[in-house]
Amino acid sequence: MESKTILYRTLPTLLFDLDGTLSDPREGILRCIRHAFAEIGAPVPAEQAMEQCIGPPLRDGLRCLLDSDELADRALVAFRHEYGRAGLLENRVYPGLSNALHELREAGAAMFVATSKPQQFAEQTIEHFGWRALFRKVYGCGFDGTLAEKSDLLRHLIASEALDPADTIMIGDRKYDIVAARENGIRSMAVLWGFGSAEELRDADAFCATPADLVTVVFAQPLRSRRSD
C-alpha cells in the first residue's frame, strides 16, 4: 500500500512559563528583593536592575546584583522567607490571559507549567489563581537549585511526560525560554507582554503580542503530520 501523509488539526502540547507569561509578579518580587537587601545591609538596586531577576533562576540574578556568592545566598534566604509569607500573593493575572487558558483547555490542549520558580511557590501561585484544573502538572525547581536551569527543567518535563518534541511548544517571555526550547528540540513562542525585550526574543519561532491573541496564535501553528502505511 502506498504510504501517504495525513494532516490533522489538533493542538500542540503547551508548556507555559509562569512569571511574566501567565502572571505579573513584579510588585511582590521587587518588594521582596528590597526586603532581602535591607536584611543583609546592602544598597537596594534600581528597579530596572531588579526586574532582570524575574525569569532566570533568582540566585543568578542576586549574584549579579551583589557580586558575591555569600551575599547572594543570604539574600536568597531572606527573599524566600518574605516571598513565601506574602510576596507570592502580590501578583496579578494579565488581562485576558485566564480566558485564553480556559479556551485552550476546552479545545483539548494539554498544558503544563514550566518555571524556574521553586516548585512550592509555583504550585501556590497556580492554586491562588484557581488554575489547578487547567494544567496537567506544574514543574518547578527545587529550593536546592535542582532543575533551576530552564533547559534542564524542560528536558526533565519532556522525558517525564513522554512528550513528542515535534508536537510541543514552550511559551515564555524571556530568552531563557527560547534557548531552552531550542536546546530540547521543541518550538518556542515568545509573549511580548512580559519582561523580555524584543531583542532577546528575536529567535523565537512564533510571537504573541497580547494575551487576547494567544488562542489565535496557538491555532495558527503548523498542523501535525503523520505518515500512514
User: What pLDDT is recorded for position 9?
Assistant: 52
List Cβ neighbours of 10 (8 Å cut-off, separation of 6 or more).
108, 224
Closest CA to 184 of 156, 221, 224, 146: 156
| Partners of 189 in beta bridges | 171, 206
Instruction: Please write the tens of the pLDDT for every residue from 29-46.
Output: 999 999 999 999 999 999
For 3-7, 31-35, 118-122, which range has the lowest pLDDT when averaged over its residues? 3-7
Instruction: Please write the tens of the pLDDT for every residue from 196-213.
Output: 998 999 999 999 999 999
pLDDT score of 195 more than 80: yes
Site of grid cell 507582554 = 193
Instruction: Please write the tens of the pLDDT for every residue from 49-97.
Output: 999 999 888 999 999 999 999 999 999 999 999 999 999 999 999 999 9
The catalytic position among 17, 19, 24, 173 is: 17
Mean pLDDT of 191-195: 96
Residue type, 177: D
Instruction: Please write the tens of the pLDDT for every residue from 122-149.
Output: 999 999 999 999 999 999 999 999 999 9
Sign of CA dihedral 112, 118, 120, 126: negative
User: What pLDDT is recorded for position 7?
Assistant: 42
User: What pLDDT is recorded for position 11?
Assistant: 87
Q: What region, left, alpha or beta, does residue 10 occupy, with left being phi > 0 and alpha being psi -120 to 50 degrees?
A: beta
Residue 17 is a catalytic residue: yes
pTM of the model: 0.90
